[in-house]
Amino acid sequence: MLYYALVFLVVALIAGVLGFGGIAGASASIAQVLFFLFLILFVVSVVMRLMRRT
C-alpha cells in the first residue's frame, strides 16, 4: 500500500512539473489518502502485536 502511495506521489510531482494541475491535484489526494490508510493500518498492527505478547 505504501508503494502505491509513493507511485501516486511521483505521478503528482511529474504532472505538477509539466503543468497538469488537475491530474497533479488528484494524484496528490490519492497518495495522501493511501499514506494515511497505511499509517492507520500500521498502528493497528503494532497495537495488536503488543497486546498479543502480554
The number of folded domains in the chain is 1
Sign of the alpha-carbon torsion through 4, 26, 16, 38: negative
Backbone phi and psi for residue 20, each to the nearest 5 degrees, phi listed first? -90, 85
For residue 54, pLDDT beyond 70: no
Predicted TM-score (pTM) of the model is: 0.72
**Cα–Cα dist 39/5, whole Å:** 11
Cell numbers found for residue 10: 511521483
Domain interval for residue 43: 2-53
- Residue 8: what pLDDT? 83
Q: In Å, what is the CA distance from 24 to each residue of 3, 14, 39, 41, 52?
A: 18, 8, 22, 26, 42
pLDDT digits (tens, 9 = 90+) for 25-46: 888 888 899 899 999 999 999 9
Assign 12 a pLDDT band (cuts: 50, 70, 90): confident
Assign 19 a pLDDT band (cuts: 50, 70, 90): confident
The secondary element (H helix, E strand) that includes residue 41 is helix 21-53
